[in-house]
Amino acid sequence: MNMPDAQTLAGWMNPEQWKSWMANPDALANVQLPGAALLREAGATVKPDVLETLKNEYMAEFGVLWQQFLEGKTPQIRDRRFAAPAWTGNPVTAFSAAAYLLNAKFLVAMAEAVEASAQQKQKIRFAIQQVVDAMSPANFLATNPEAQQALLESKGESLTRGLKNMLADMQKGHISLTDDKAFEVGRNLAVTEGQVVLETPLFQLIQYKPLTDTVKQRPLLMVPPCINKYYILDLQPASSLVRYAVEQGNTVFIISWRNPDATLAKTSWDDYTEKGVIEAIRAVQEITGEETLNLLGFCVGGTLLSTALAVLAARGQQPAASLTLLTTFLDFADTGVLSVFVDEPQVRIREQALAQGGLMAGRDLASTFSSLRPNDLVWNYVQANYLKGNEPAAFDLLYWNSDSTNLPGPMFCWYLRNTYLENRLKEPGRLTVAGEKVDLTAIAAPAFVYGSREDHIVPWTSAYASMNILNPEERTANRFVLGASGHIAGVINPPSKNKRSYWVNDERPEDPEQWIAGAVEHPGSWWPLWAAFLAEHGGDDVAPRTELGNETFKPVEPAPGRYVKEKAD
């Protein structure tokens, strides 16, 4: 789908264009809805009567807007992009913003009215939204009064700084979301004290120093996503899930995945399962002397962990005393907006390029995820950094978000085809991993499943679907908690901040909508619920181990280790 150029859409926000239309009713009758030609080029169809209804509604609303403009009235604008007085204090800029929002409303309405399959409709909707967000008048110096005001007040300095920021970002290869100099892994991020007790070509295993007089008998092993770096779970101390777990009396281990380079270009999903998760489980068992562990997986780390536990179950082993899954897919029936990037032709292209070896660049992965929230992760910073010449503020989560990782091509291609495209993982015996038939229902462990209500990467209803897969013989032992906010912010919600809320429901219906209908909202963090779940399955209170590692697994280097500091090429 081709995007309309700025000049085409600018006409729909130009008072002079509307002045000529209003003066000539015949010309007005031939006006096309914004985006109608765009949809025709894409081969999309909308029923004529629906299109006519939308057009009539559009013309009526625009007529009201135009009349307000002629009368000098400022339209009501409920969009934070246009909240500044510079937008609402001038009739022309207020009209520009209001006209843009009206165009956006009807572009999206037309996308919704398109006659197409669900996946085609999702792609059209996504493409239209990208156009809508890109063409905001806030994104251009010529139509952004805030940027123009900064230009005048700084006597041109803001533009000079903005160009400098843009050139610096072009060298980096990404838009700066935060002050990169404000953070350093090991200095003020990932500072929970511990030691790397195992290093392999694929990962480092970190064991953390205990902080309590007694600890639970069973240790906790965390498996973070390999698509990002582990320190999202160990940001600054006040927001570190790792530190919180240690403070709750757990002996905590975490996998720090290596940022793949050419030496790992042929690494497979089997390798991440066998040489990654399973090897880490065995190491924790040997270091602690415990056969069963509390296990946690986050996002794709949860998918990998569940795969590994199914492989071990096929071998007659059940190492999980409990299983925690945070914003994790096991059932990929509904992958939300990410489905626009996954269809047979796109997956086949990736397979032809990478299935036999190569790297999926971290920069490309980061761009994909940024496109899911372009106003928050792209255009907001274009406006602030380039148009206004501001320096980005220091924000640890956004620093982590920009610290991208590569993925091995074979692993990435297997993941795309067998989960996102064909949804085979949930079907018992459909997949073979590490030489074993995978059956997730064979994992005999109570599950704590968490989803985020506004998650655009793992829809909460898809996270809930794990409740219908795991532990079917003891389903009542599973627990689902729904947190406010999105994929990351919902997870990283420490009790000390007293922010957001969460929902719980003791009933466990198969339908997530039935679950939410009976759920009760509570203010604050869900972390204490999870801590109680861990304690329930943690065994007796015992003295903490004063030495990290053991004779076989001797400390290699202090946490956070070298692997997490490696940058993607």
Give the pair of three-digit tokens for residue 553: 């697994």
- Number of helices and strands (H, E) in the chain? 23, 17
299 is a catalytic site residue: yes
CA 452 to CA 482: how far, in whole Å? 6
- Judge if the upstream peptide bond of residue 523 is cis by omega within 30 degrees of 0: no
Per the CB < 8 A criterion, the answer to whether 229 and 405 are in contact is: yes
CA 162 to CA 390: how far, in whole Å? 7
Alpha carbon distances (Å) from 26 to 18, 29, 34, 566: 13, 5, 18, 64
Phi and psi for 97 in degrees, rounded to 5?
A: -65, -45
Going by C-alpha positions, the residue among 438, 356, 369 that lies closest to residue 402 is 369
Per the CB < 8 A criterion, the answer to whether 147 and 81 are in contact is: no
Torsion of CA 429, 434, 440, 444, to 10 degrees: 120
CA 257 to CA 260: how far, in whole Å? 9
* Catalytic-labelled residue, pool 147, 197, 299, 313: 299
Alpha carbon distances (Å) from 327 to 281, 348, 397: 21, 27, 17
- Judge if the upstream peptide bond of residue 137 is cis by omega within 30 degrees of 0: no
CA 477 to CA 508: how far, in whole Å? 10
Alpha carbon distances (Å) from 118 to 110, 114, 417, 464, 511: 15, 10, 19, 22, 21
Per the CB < 8 A criterion, the answer to whether 255 and 280 are in contact is: yes
Q: Which amino acid is at 84?
A: A
CA 280 to CA 97: how far, in whole Å? 54
Which helix (H) or strand (E) segment holds residue 365: the answer is helix 362-372
CA 376 to CA 373: how far, in whole Å? 6
511, burial (CB in 10 Å: exposed 0-12, middle 13-18, buried 19+): exposed
Catalytic residues: 299
